[in-house]
Amino acid sequence: MRIISGEFKGRRFQAPDNLPVRPTTDAAKESLFNILGNHLDWEDLNVLDLFAGIGSISLEFVSRGARQVHAVDSFTGCTKFIQSMAQKFEMDNLQVFRQDAFEYLKRARFQYNLVFADPPYQLPNIAEIPDLVLGSECLEKDGFFILEHSDKYHFEHDARCIEERRYGKVHFSFFRKVF
């Protein structure tokens, strides 16, 4: 894995083999960030990365200049790995929380401009995640929510889903709050 752009461009990192993760491919991640770069000012972003895994998405947001990034994962090995990368790259604006993503959403006391979720593809309640995020107070009024998922799910009939992109087996659905 590598950081694609920004201050830490080209830095490589390799997660331990014993972590239960399926990192977003570099090609899909690069495409995602190209789309976001056309809509967002990196320096204004407060980002929540749910089901953060090894933190590839979190590290990319920090590298591109996000103001604050919170990475949430329930697996201790993942959170320790993300913390070690944040220390190694001296990323002071990356905070890591070992917590269940659903519980974090219920108790979130911080507001984000962008929430990204990459749950395990086999998670049975993936279809509930947009309602939880968009219905919570953690996403700002004009914020974006992005859900990475498999082709098993489609959200084009959800009025809040503004776009869906596919990169191989990786699907990104983009949501906005509807008022």
The mean per-residue pLDDT over the stretch 137-148 comes to: 93
Q: Which two tokens stand for residue 7?
A: 């201050």
Structure token digits, residue 18: 């014993």
pLDDT, mean over the chain: 92
- Helix/strand/coil for 63: helix
Residue range 102-129, pLDDT digits in tens = 999 998 889 999 999 999 988 999 999 9
Q: Is residue 97 part of a domain?
A: yes
Query: Looking at residue 15, what is its pLDDT?
Result: 79
- Is it the case that residue 23 has pLDDT exceeding 80? no
The pairing of beta strand 139-149 with beta strand 94-98: unpaired
Asked whether residue 7 is assigned to any structural domain, the reply reads no
Q: How many domains does the chain have?
A: 1
pLDDT digits (tens, 9 = 90+) for 41-85: 999 999 999 999 999 999 999 999 999 999 999 999 999 999 999
92 in a structural domain:
yes
Q: H-helix or E-strand containing 85? A: helix 76-88
The confidence score (pLDDT) of residue 179 equals: 67
Query: Looking at the domain assignment, is residue 162 inside a domain?
Result: yes
Residue 91 in this model has a pLDDT that exceeds 90: yes
Assess if residue 14 is contained within a domain: no
Residue 178 domain flag: no
For residue 62, tell me if it sits in a domain.
yes
Burial class, 26, CB count within 10 angstroms (exposed 0-12 / middle 13-18 / buried 19+): middle
pLDDT for 99 equals 97
Phi, psi dihedral angles at 20 (to 5 degrees)? -85, 70
What pLDDT, on the 0 to 100 scale, is given for residue 5? 94
Percent of the chain with pLDDT over 70: 99
The owner of tokens 């590290």 is 59
pLDDT > 90? residue 14: no
Q: What is residue 18's predicted lDDT score, i.e. its pLDDT? A: 79
> d(Cα 113, Cα 140) in Å, to the nearest integer?
6
Q: Is residue 40 part of a domain?
A: no
Q: What mean pLDDT is predicted for residues 11-31? A: 82
The CATH number given to whatever domain includes residue 68 is: 3.40.50.150
Query: What pTM does this model have?
Result: 0.95
Expressed as residue numbers, the domain containing 99 is 50-167
